[in-house]
Structure 1
Amino acid sequence: MQSPASPLLLRDVPLWPNGKGSAVALAFDLDGPTGDAMLDGSLRQNPRYFSEGAYGPFRALPRLLDLLAQHALPATFFIPTWVVENWTEACTRILREGHEVAYHGHYHEYFRDLTPEAQLQVMERSRAVFQSRLGVTPQGFRTPSGDWTAETPALLRDFGVRYSSSMRGEDRPYVHPAPVGVTPLVELPARWDMDDYTALAYFEDPVFPEGQDRISDYRTVRANWIAEFEGYHAEGLFWTTILHPKVSAKPARLAILDGLFTAIRRHDSVWTTTLAEVAGWTLQQATKEQP
C-alpha cells in the first residue's frame, strides 16, 4: 500500500479552480443487496437481507436523486455491477440527471482477499456490464472492502481507471507513485467519519453493528456531518462521503441530508462537483508540480 507522502503530493494549501475555497464531491455507494450474504451464498435463504438491500436502488435512490436535484448538487455513485444488471433503469436515471457512476466490484467483493488475477477479473466483468447496460466506461473506483492489496493501485492504473476513492490517510487529493511517463492513479480519500453505517445502520442478519441497538440521534448526526464539512471548508480542503442510499435516504433521515446539503450551498466558495472532475484537476496540478 502506498503512502500519501509521494513526490507528487499536492501543495499544503490547494488552489481550487476559479478561486474556490474548498472542494466537495458527494459520493454514494449504491450497494443494494450485494455483500456478505451474496458472497457466502446465503442470500437465497435470507430474504430479509435481500429486501433491506433492495430498498436502496428501488425506493431510497429516487428519493435521494430528487433531493440532489432540489439542491442542484452533483454526485458520484459507486455501484456494484450486479446492481446495474438488476436495476438498470434506476442506474440510467443517475446518468440522465448528470451524476457520475463508478466501479465498486460486481458482488461487492473483498479486494484485500483477492489475488491480482481475481481482482482483474472483477474489473473486466464490471466494465463489460457498465458498457453493455449503461453505455459508459467509468473513470473511478472505490474498493468495496475498504482495503486492497499492494498490487491494486498499479492494476487499476493499467486497467485505465483514473482515480480511486478508497484510502483514508489524507484530506486532500494525491497521486500514487507511477513510472516516469505514466499517468498516475489519483487518490481522492474519504473518511470513516462520513460513512453513514457508523451512526445509522442496523441489520439483523448478518449482524451490524455487533451487539445491535445503536442508532444515533438524527439531530446529532446532522450536526456532526455539517461540522465535518465546515471544518474541511474552513481549511480549504477536499471533502467527500461514504454514504449509502439504503441507510441514509430513508424518509426521516432525508432531513439529515437536507441539512447537510443546505449547509454546503450556503457557501458560494465551495466547488461542488464529481470525483471525476476533482481527479482531472488533480492530475493537472500534479503535472505542474513535477520538476
Structure 2
Amino acid sequence: MSQSLWPEGKKSAAMFTFDLDGDIIWQNMSSDEPNTEKLIRARSIGQYGPNRCVDMILDLLDKYHVKATFFVPGYVAEHNPDVIRRIDAAGHEIGNHGYTHERFVEKTVEEQLEILKKTQKVIKDITGKEPKGFRTPSGDWHVRTPYLLNDLGFLYSSSMRGDDIPYYTVLDGKETNLVEIPSKWELDDYVAQAYSVYPAEPAGLDRISCYRNVQDNDIREFRGYYDMGLCIAFLMHPQISGAPGRNLVLEEVLKEVTSHDDVWVATGSEVAEYWRKAHPRKED
C-alpha cells in the first residue's frame, strides 16, 4: 500500500492476543463422559495456562515492552481473579470470550445475550473495566451475534477472517461502528501446537508441529504483512505458547516484530479506536 494506514506514518500494525481458556474446554469436551469430575489430568492441562503460563507470558511481554489483549471466558475469570488482576495491572487489555467457551452458533439469541452480559459483569467486577472487545469461542458465531455486539456497544470483535486490515461489520447492508480485527488460522498456535491424541497410535501424522517450522511460519507471515502495510493479529493460548519451549518461539516472534521501529504494536482497543478515528465509516 502506497500510503500508511497507521498512526505516525508507521508501516504496519501488529496485535498480540491470547485466549485464556483455562480448563473449561476440557470440561466441555468431557461433559458427556461418565465421572467427568474425576478427569483430573485432562483438566490440569487447561489449568496450566492460568496457573503457570500467564506469568511467563507477562514477563516476556514486559521484556519487549508489548501490551497485549487477553480474551477470557467469564467462568475462567471468576475462578482465577488474581490472574486477571495481574494481567490488568500490567497494562494489558482483557476481552470477552464467552462464559464457558460456548459455541455461539448453537445458542439462541437470548442465550447469547445472557452469556455476553454475564461475562461483561464478571470482568468488570474484577478489574473495574468493562471489556470493549470480543472474540467468539470455538471459531464461529451465530448469524445474530454481531447484531448483539453492536447493540451492546462493543468497540470491536476479533473473530472473523475476512481481511488483512480492520473493517467495519456490515449488518443489513450497512456498515456499523463494530470494527472487526481479523486473525487467521495460520496464526493460531492451538491449530499447530496443541498435542493431538488423534489418530490413535502408532498410525498417523505428528501429534504436534515442529517448533522450528511454527516459528518460521509466524515470522514469514509477519514479514508479509509488514511488507504490505497490513495488520497482523497473532492468536495464541497461554497453555500453548506459555510452555517453556514454545515460550522461546513466542520470544523470537516478539523479537522480530519489535525490531522494526515502524511497526505499531497495539491492543485490540487501540487498533479499533484508531481505525474509527482515522478511517471513518462511509456513512460518516
- Whether TM exceeds 0.5 here: the answer is yes
In structure 2, do the counterparts of structure 1 residues 237 and 128 end up closer, same or farther at CA, with 3 Å as the change threshold?
A: same
- Residue in 1 aligned with 2:267? 274
Q: Which residue of 2 aligns with 1:80?
A: 73
Q: What letter corresponds to residue 30 of structure 1 in structure 2?
A: L
Choose the corresponding residue for 2:188, options 195, 201, 204. 195
Paired positions, count: 279
CA drift at 1:34: 1.2
Matches within 5 A, 1:172-187: 172-177=165-170, 184-187=177-180
Q: Deviations over 1:170-227 (max 9, x none)?
A: 101000125899952110000000111222111549x9xx967421221111111111
In the alignment, does 2:35 pair up with 1:33? no
- Choose from 114, 118, 123 the match for 1:125: 118
Partner of residue 15 from structure 1, selected from 5, 23, 43: 5
Partner of residue 14, structure 2: 24
Q: 1:290 to 1:101 in 2, by over 3 A?
A: same
The alpha-carbon deviation at position 47 of structure 1 amounts to 1.1
Q: Could you tell me how far 1:40 is from its partner in structure 2?
A: 5.7
Superposed structure 1 runs of 4+ greater than 6 Å apart:
179-182
Partner of 1:4: none
Determine the C-alpha separation between the residues in 2 that align with 1:181 and 1:211: 47
Q: Which residue of 2 aligns with 1:105?
A: 98
Does structure 1 conserve the Cα–Cα contact (< 8 Å) formed by 2:192 and 2:208? Answer: yes
The equivalent residue for 2:48 is 55
Aligned-pair CA distance for 1:246: 0.2
The one-letter code sitting in structure 2 at the alignment partner of 1:104 is H
Percent of aligned pairs sharing the same letter: 41
The reply on whether 1:164 has 2:157 as its aligned counterpart is: yes
Q: Distance in 2 between matches of 1:91 and 1:102?
A: 11
Deviation at 1:57, TM superposition (A): 0.4
Which region of structure 1 is more displaced relative to structure 2, 102-111 or 13-22? 13-22
How far off its partner does 1:65 sit? 0.4
TM-score, reference length from structure 2:
0.91
Aligned to 1:92: 85
Question: Is 1:241 aligned with 2:234?
Answer: yes
Q: 1:19: Cα distance to partner?
A: 0.6
CA distance in 2 between partners of 1:19 and 1:134 (Å): 33
Q: TM-score, normalised by structure 1?
A: 0.89
Of 41-50 and 119-128, more deviation after overlay is shown by 41-50
CA distance in 2, matches of 1:47, 1:213: 25
Per the alignment, residue 221 of structure 2 pairs with: 228
Deviation sequence 1:10-59 (CA, Å, 0-9, x none)? x9965211110001011000000112533663541321221000000000
Q: Output the amino acid matched with 1:125.
A: K
Distance 1:149 1:181 in 2: 19
State the Cα deviation string for residues 46-81 of structure 1 (Å, max 9, x = none): 212210000000001100100000010110000001
State the match for 1:218 in structure 2. 211
Question: What is the rounded CA distance, in whole Å, between the counterparts of 1:38 and 1:12 in structure 2?
Answer: 47
